[in-house]
Amino acid sequence: MGKLTAGIFAGFLAVTALSGAALAKDNPMVGGAPMYANKNIIENAVNSKDHTTLVAAVKAAGLVETLQGKGPFTVFAPTNEAFAALPKGTVETLLKPENKATLTKVLTCHVVAADALSATIAKMIKDDGGAHKVKTVGGCVLTVSEKGGKIAIKDEKGNVAHVTIADVRQSNGVIHVIDKVLLPK
C-alpha cells in the first residue's frame, strides 16, 4: 500500500470513527454504554449493563429477530432493578422454557409498533386531556400520562412505571428506559 493510499485509508477510518461517535453523541448513554442511532434495538441493548435481565428475557422469548427487524418500534425498556422488584422467583419462573408464552406476552406489552419520541407522546397526552391509551404489540393497553415533566405509563394491573431515560434513538425505533415492569391483566 502506497503512502497516499495508506493516508486515504487512515482518513476514512478516522471519519468513520468520528461519525459513529457523532451518532452516539446525540443519544443518551444507557447502562454505561453509548447508544448508537444507526444500530438496532438489540445491537444497543446488549451493551447496557442495566438491561441484562431484559436481554436475557428477550432471548428466552425468541424475540431477538423481531426486535432486530425493520420496525418501527417504541420499546419501554425495564431496568434490571425493575425486574428485581417483581416478587421473588418471578423472573426465574418466566425464563423457564415452559413459560415462554407468558414471557412473550409480558415483553410484547412493552413494545408499541410506532416510533414515538417523548415529544410525540407528550402531545398525544395533551391532545387527549391528560391521558392517552396505547395498544402494544402484545395486545395490552397502556395509559400514558405526564406528571412533573416525566412520562408515566400505567399497565393493565394499575402499576405505574416512569420513564427515566427518554428518546434513545435506534435504527428501527426508539427506547424509553423505565423503572418498573409493565404487566398484562
Domain boundaries, the chain: 3-178
Query: CB-hemisphere CA count at 13 Å for 113?
Result: 8
Q: What's the pLDDT score for residue 41?
A: 92
Q: pLDDT category, 25, cuts 50, 70, 90?
A: low
Average pLDDT of span 36-50: 92
Q: Compute the average pLDDT of residues 66-71.
A: 92
- Residue among 183, 182, 163, 166 at smallest CA distance from 174: 166
Q: Cα separation of 145 and 3, whole Å?
A: 60
Helix (H, G, I), strand (E, B) or coil at 178: strand
164 close to 179: Cβ distance less than 8 angstroms? yes
Of the candidates 160, 169, 171, the one whose C-alpha atom is nearest the C-alpha of residue 40 is 171
Share of the chain above pLDDT 70, in %: 86
Grid coordinates standing for 96?
423457564
CATH of range 3-178; options 2.130.10.30, 2.60.40.640, 1.10.760.10, 2.30.180.10: 2.30.180.10
